[in-house]
Structure 1
Amino acid sequence: MAIDYNVERPEDAALEAAANSGFFGKLGAYAKLSGPGWLQGAITLGGGSLAGSLFIGIVAGPHLLWIQPFAMLCGITMLSAIAYVTLSTGERPMLTVSRHLTPVLAIAWAVATIVANVVFALPQFALATSTFLQNLTPSWADSEVAPWIIGGVLAVTSVGIVWGYESGSKGIRLFELVLKVLVAVVVLSFFLVVGMLVARGQIDVGAVMAGLIPHLSQLHEPTPQLAEIAAATGAHEGLWREIISNSQRDIIIAAGGTAVGINMTFLLPYTLLRRGWQRKHRELSMFDLSLGLFIPFVIATSCLVIAAGSAFYTKTDDVLAPDGSVRPAMVRAYGDSVDKFLKLRDGASFASLDADAKAAARETLAPVDRRMAAMLASRDAGQLSAALAPVLGKAGANLVFGVGVIAMAWSSIIILILMNGLAIGAVFKRDENPTVFRIGTLMPGISGFFAPVIWTGASRAALAIPASVIATTLLPIAYFTFLLLMNSKGALGKDRPSGGVRLVVNLLMAGATSAATLASVWALSNRGTAGTWGLVGLGSLFAIGLISFLRKRNTA
């Protein structure tokens, strides 16, 4: 269904007034009209961003602060292109992709979105539940019933909020307001933490500013502090430098291609159309993405990296006790860190050991190697909260981090539920059917409710690996699809960019698509048989998309 550009909407008057009110007046008007970009911000500020930011802080301190803003710039580039295509054609993107490329890409895009929504709702529910129990109600931590109660409340409230979105323009406005508040809570919570660290002199502001400058040497060289500590391990310096460099390279590659998820590319065009935005709103859509997605993401993730770096970078006290023993809460994370070293040092001989022999091998490490492994051990939000308790106070740390992390998880849950309702409607060509939409919204809610029994042990791996393979494979395909559509005369007609603008647009989009493809190939190559099939699928879909484009590029 195409947008009727002849219908006057309430936003049109505000848009015309903005055009004649000067630069700052225009910014103010655009800020009031913003909405879909905040939904993008709500989904990207979830458990994945939290874990990634903690890992960056642990491995590199402030030295890799530049990577997440860079990654999001790539994502904003592609989302802006998706918005441009959607608002120029005025039709649902699955129809555009099917008509001007191939239905194969359209269906694959929607199915990948549904799989990602249903599976990745599980860790968001688990994160919200564990944070609630750990930070806000520790007295409930041993209760077997509490996780089910919390999960039920999350599912019911989230589905209810999303059903309000479906009710019409007022529901959409209220829904967007809820998400804006949740995103603001996330940003303010972590900004407050860093502000207090700066006030107490625990943050090197100069190092933070330097960390915003990209250094490509970080692809193969450890940060200066860790390089110096690795040198102290003597004969094992090369092994530790390799482990650190590999971790930094993994961060850079993964962040560069995955700041925007496959389901985010699906969400944006449908929320733009639901808002009634048109061709005249194309500039507004780019501002909206900057205000609602880029700025909150960069502030929140940067604050998390800074806080994690302050608490964990080159530190071992939270992992090793004064007598050198491993603290009980960190046994597993420390063991994983040691195993990376032992696998690299001993190769297949370590892999062939049984569990008891591996445990004995871990105890043979020299003190300097144990310290190095402890520095690189992974931590979670609860451990970051505990590490900063001396700064914020135990109650303050639990409250600030608890509220911030729960807001991250809850906002992501709401958007996953919304996206699934939209995707199910698109697949069955029932976009305007409220019953189909509501059935779609229930799927992530139900899967998330059962997170206590599904998102554990072998079940987690069995779900996460194929879902990750599907989502990772299709993200660069979604990017490539809209790169092709931006060059399709048949799809865009007179709205297709031309001249120097077209050259710049293609360079930016090609760069973002290449980054996503590199990250996809890197991730899939480590996924065994499933990853191999993913690589085959990636190449096949690229070929299908390109052939379809060449056949239909000038077909109106």
Structure 2
Amino acid sequence: MSDSAPASNPPLTEAQQREVAELQRLNQMPFGASAMGYIKRTGPGLLQSAMTLGAGSAAASVIAGASFGYKLLWVQPVAMFLGVMMLGALSNVVLTTGERPYKSFGREIGKWLVVLWALGTIMSSIIWHFPQYGLAASAARDLGAMQNIVSVPPELTAASDAVDEAMKTMDPVIIDQAKANLAQVTSESTPMGLGFTSEGLMLSFGIGIIILLINIITTFNYGGDSKGVRLYEWFLRGCIALVVIMFGIVVVAKIDVVASDIVDILKGFIGWYGIPNLWNVDGSLNNSTVTQVLGMLGAAVGINMTFLYPYSLLKKGWGADHKKLARWDLGMTMFLPFVLVTSLVIIAMKVGGVYDGADVVNTTIRPLGAAKALGGVLGENAGRIIFDLGLIGMTCGAISTHMVVCGFTFCEMLGLEQTKKRFRLFALTPAIGILGVVSSLPIWFPVAASAVCFTMLPIAYLTFLIMNNKRSYIGDAVGSGFSRLLFNVILVIALAVATIGSGIKIYGNVIKKILPANEAPAAAAVLTDSNDDDAS
């Protein structure tokens, strides 16, 4: 070990010694016998699962299912598997040394790198907070519309439909004209140009305030003692369970269709169809399809997740003896819920009749549009209600984890000891995102944040790869033999996919926004418009 490496993990408390003894006992037991013991002790992966199951995942899954039915079911599991492997490398480093990564990575790799890592984490947590509230408010207004609380003027509906039709042409001029007309109609026909009634405004802020208050209470618990951490983790379990149940009900309602399609569903999961409609009739690559798939593959894990994860491990008091538990945690509380929820949404698009069989990227579909299309699945509007509630549950979990990560990140970046007061104060930073219920950020902020966040993700991945193989820092924990080789091959693949995916996002969210519209390919332009609310 180098002189710069920490000598050892901090001394264990009596409770931690008992837990380590129990883990050592579980490590010697067969898979089935040890499973429940590990599952009961999971936790940090929950935060990652809740963070990635937000507005971005909802939009990506809706588009995938509405565009290709079951044929892209394999993409989200592969994307999350690669993300889990990279976080596994990060956990190996942190649990081996017990050292806080902001300090250790800055010393071993470079101080400016970790500053950008932290800055990207904060910026992404703020910018991706807005669409979470926006989706929750939209779902609430949709619920209100079914009760005739919120009405939309018919001329506004017609203008909105015209934009959807214009998007299908992929002609920037026609699209811009339709959007300009929509903006004018919105300004003239609704209060303050919001696109909905005053009742809709009250409903939007009402659901926003409720979600914010719930998350303040639960997040403040996470900034407290171990009992508060457990309470927060159960809150996240509840959010994820709600989402699974809501989307599951929609799918189960069409169980006869699911049963008849089971072979096609299994083919979708194993990648039988590959990337559908990959080639155009002239033999060229179909840019919109490729961009959709690569964007999904590269954006399952966000930069803020990479910062939150190691600190959530340390917050739980985990050390070198928890490595196997950490792997279980990533598998059972991050990988499994993400795959389950995104798959249910994709399947719902097919069994609910949203997928039309064209195998063309549907750039006009949105989560709320999908909810309306599923209205009759369980009877009149029942499927729509349940889908809306599932969307609200997704955003609630994501909002809380954005607050938690800001509480950690500010303390680390400013070199402050993490106290209860400081954590709670900094956790409130992204709360400004509640304004997302009626508006979005100024265009310059998402552009700047995208430039930093999506550039930093592959750099962070490269850092984890280097640190996981730095024998002078983690010693024999680098591994050996074939297992080390295989693991590193997977990490390199994850790095390559993240780099490509980030490049696509940078093109759509930065370059396309800066350059004139006619200098950006129409297919990529349309696609990235549909993913501007990506919230990993």
Same fold (TM over 0.5): yes
The equivalent of 1:414 in structure 2 is 400
**Aligned AA (2:65):** G
| Distance in 1 separating the partners of 2:130 and 2:458 | 24
Q: Report whether the alignment pairs 1:80 with 2:92.
A: no
Assess if the C-alpha contact under 8 Å between 2:20 and 2:322 holds in 1: no
**Cα distance change of structure 1 residues 63 and 428 upon mapping to structure 2, 3 Å threshold:** same
Q: What SS is found at the alignment partner of 1:145?
A: helix
Q: Identify the residue that residue 197 of structure 1 maps to in structure 2.
A: 254
- Between the aligned partners of 1:528 and 1:291, the Cα distance in structure 2 is 35
Equivalent of 1:249 in 285, 290, 311: 290
| Correspondence for 2:225 | 168
Q: Is the 8 A contact 1:86 1:269 kept in 2?
A: yes
The superposition leaves residues 91-132 of structure 1 with CA deviations (integer Å, 9 ceiling, x where unpaired) of 111112011111111111111000000111000011111112
Q: Verify: 1:512 aligned to 2:512, yes or no.
A: no
- Tell me which residue corresponds to 1:146: 203
1:312 alignment partner in structure 2: 354
Q: Distance in 2 between matches of 1:434 and 1:256?
A: 37
CA contact (8 A) 1:151 1:448 kept: no
CA distance in 2, matches of 1:517, 1:377: 24
CA positional deviation for 1:451: 1.7
3-state DSSP of counterpart to 2:425:
helix
Cα distance change on mapping 1:3 and 1:372 into 2, 3 Å? closer
Contact 1:454 1:460 in 2 (8 A): no
Q: Could you list the per-position Cα deviations for residues 191-229 of structure 1 after superposition, in whole angstroms to 9, with x for gaps in the alignment?
A: 22112212256862221111122268627626xxxxxxx
Q: Quote the Cα distance in structure 2 between the aligned partners of 1:469 and 1:179.
A: 30
**Residue 489 of structure 1 aligns with which residue?**
471
SS at match of 1:260: coil
Alignment match of 1:503 (pick from 469, 481, 485): 485
Give the deviation of 1:265 after TM superposition. 0.7
CA distance in 1 between partners of 2:85 and 2:513 (Å): 27
Q: Is the 2:450–2:510 contact (alpha carbons within 8 Å) kept by the matching residues of 1?
A: no
Work out the percentage of aligned pairs sharing the same amino acid.
Answer: 31
Given that 2:125 and 2:430 are in contact with CA atoms closer than 8 Å, whether structure 1 keeps it comes out as: yes
d(CA) in 1 for partners of 2:513, 2:374: 39
C-alpha deviations, 1:232-272, integer Å up to 9, x for none? Answer: xxxxx848x979x3222112211221111111111110000
Instruction: From the two aligned structures, give the one with the greater helix fraction.
Output: 1
Aligned match of 1:7 in 10, 13, 16? 13
Shift of 1:6: 3.7
1:260 corresponding residue in structure 2: 301
- Counterpart of 1:208, as a letter, is I
Q: Report the equivalent of 1:470.
A: 452
Q: How does 1:353-364 map to 2 (within 5 A)?
A: none
Match of 1:212 among 244, 269, 291: 269
User: RMSD of aligned C-alpha atoms?
Assistant: 2.6
Of stretches 478-487 and 20-29 in structure 1, the one that deviates more from structure 2 is 20-29
Contact 1:524/1:531 (CA < 8 Å) preserved in 2? no
Aligned residue type for 1:258? A
2:507 is matched with which residue? 525
**C-alpha separation in 2, matches of 1:238 and 1:383:** 30
For residues 57 and 280 of structure 1, the distance between their equivalents in structure 2, rounded to whole angstroms, comes to: 41
Q: 1:450 aligns with which of 431, 435, 444?
A: 435
Tell me if structure 1 keeps the 8 A contact 2:44–2:313.
Answer: yes
**Change beyond 3 A, Cα 1:52–1:254:** same
Pairing 1:132–2:140 present: yes
Q: Distance in 2 between matches of 1:500 and 1:450?
A: 51
Question: Given the two structures, how large is their TM-score scaled by the length of structure 2?
Answer: 0.80
CA positional deviation for 1:13: 4.2
Letter in 2 for 1:145: M
Q: Aligned letter for 1:442?
A: L
Q: Is the 8 A contact 1:37 1:292 kept in 2?
A: yes
The count of corresponding residues between Structure 1 and Structure 2 is: 457
Distance 1:6 1:157, change over 3 A: closer
Shift of residue 189 of structure 1? 1.6
Task: Tell me the distance in 2 between the aligned counterparts of 1:254 and 1:468.
Answer: 14
Contact 1:524/1:532 (8 A) holds in 2? no
Check 1:372–1:109 CA distance in 2 against 1; reply closer, same or farther (3 A cut): closer
Q: How many angstroms apart in 1 are the aligned matches of 2:468 and 2:120?
A: 22
Work out whether 1:438 is the aligned partner of 2:398: no
> 1:450 is aligned with what amino acid?
L
Mean alpha-carbon deviation: is it higher for 466-475 or for 111-120?
Answer: 466-475
What TM-score do you get using the length of structure 1 for normalisation?
0.77
Q: CA deviation at 1:152?
A: 1.9
Residue type of the alignment partner of 1:131: A
Letter of the structure 2 residue corresponding to residue 72 of structure 1: M
Give the structure 1 partner of residue 77 of structure 2: 69
Contact 1:86 1:93 in 2 (8 A): yes
Q: For structure 1, which runs of at least 5 residues remain unmatched after alignment?
A: 223-236, 316-370, 534-556
The 8 Å contact of residues 69 and 298 in structure 1, kept in 2 or not, is answered as yes
1:381 corresponds to which of 349, 367, 384: 367
User: What's 1:40 paired with?
Assistant: 48
Cα drift, residue 395 of structure 1: 4.1
Unaligned runs of 5+ in 2: 1-5, 151-196, 516-536
